[in-house]
Amino acid sequence: MNFRPKPRDEPEINLIPFIDVLLVILIFLMLTTTYSKFTEMQIKLPVADTEAQRNYNKEVIVAISADGRYMVGKTPIAGRGVEAVAQALADAAQDTGKDTVVIISADADSTHQAVITVMEAARRDGLSRITFATQSSAKAHAR
């Protein structure tokens, strides 16, 4: 009689299917996540039915809040005058050159003077390509 215990096979955990599932979940989350360009300032864009927004290679985004604060890119501007905005635009556009597109993303309740200040600052810096960010009327009614 053989009273020796039979050698048991060690159970092994196969990690490859687990890693495959995690990668699929990661890809799904990356594709469904929306990213906000400006999370520091809440801006309610004016409504207009226009073409879809184009992506420009060389762009500088200027955000204007309802109370008249400015942000160039993600950097807040301390002053509210043309000189302060022009200096911030010059710093942001120095790498891209004069063919930079200035995108003015102004709150619907911001003053006309705040928008004109950004346009004047862009003119002083020699940035002549200016466009405005809006939202479609379908998005405006959804809120």
Between CA 52 and CA 54 the distance in angstroms is 6
Percentage of the chain beyond pLDDT 70 is 76
- Tens digit of each residue's pLDDT (9 = 90 or more) over 104-128: 888 888 888 888 888 888 888 888 8
Greater pLDDT, 27 or 109: 27
Between CA 117 and CA 127 the distance in angstroms is 13
**Class of the domain covering 59-142:** alpha beta
pLDDT band at 52 (very low <50, low <70, confident <90, very high): low
Q: Which H helix or E strand runs over 114?
A: helix 112-124
Give the phi and the psi of residue 59 in degrees, each rounded to 5.
-140, 150
Greater pLDDT, 114 or 143: 114
- Tens digit of each residue's pLDDT (9 = 90 or more) over 66-113: 888 888 888 888 888 888 888 888 888 877 667 788 888 888 888 888
127-143 exposure pattern, b = at least 16 Cβ within 10 A, e = fewer: beeeeebbbeeeeeeee
Are residues 124 and 116 in contact, defined by beta-carbon separation less than 8 angstroms?
Answer: no
